[in-house]
Chains A and B, each alone.
Chain A
Amino acid sequence: MFLQYANAVKSMTVEPAGAITIQKDEFTSGKWNAYTLRGRIWGRARISITYADGLLQTIHYMVIKPEAEAVADMGHFLTTNQWFSEDNDPFHRAPSVITYDRELNHIVTQDSRVWIAGLSDEGGAGSWLAAFMKQLGAPDKTEIDKLEQFVDGLLWGKLQLSEGDKQFGVRKSLFYYHRTRFPLGTTAMTSTGRRGPAGTRKRQRQWTAPSIIRMLRRRTGCYTGSRAIITVSLLSTTGTGT
Chain B
Amino acid sequence: MVHTRAFAESEWKSARQWNPPTMLTLTPGQSRTYGLRFLLAPEIRDIEKVLAANQRPVAVGIPGYVCPWT
Binds B, one of A31-39, A91-99, A147-155, A183-191: A31-39
* B19 in contact with A39 (CB, 8 Å): no
Complex Cα distance, B70 from A176, in Å, reads 47
Binds A, one of B3-11, B29-37, B39-47, B50-58: B50-58
**A209 close to chain B: CB less than 8 A:** no
Of chain A, the residue at the smallest CB distance from B18 is A60
Q: Within 8 Å CB of B65, what residues of A?
A: 59-62
Chain B interface residue count, CB cutoff 8 Å, equals 19
| Total A-B residue contacts, Cβ distance less than 8 Å | 74
Complex Cα distance, B66 from A40, in Å, reads 12
* B67 in contact with A61 (CB, 8 Å): yes
Complex Cα distance, B67 from A63, in Å, reads 5
Q: Within 8 Å CB of A64, what residues of B?
A: 66-69
Q: B3 to chain A: closest CB distance in Å?
A: 15
* A39 in contact with B68 (CB, 8 Å): yes
Complex Cα distance, B70 from A6, in Å, reads 32
Q: Within 8 Å CB of A63, what residues of B?
A: 67-69
What are 7 of the A-B contact pairs (CB < 8 Å)? A5-B58, A45-B67, A55-B57, A61-B61, A62-B67, A64-B67, A66-B70
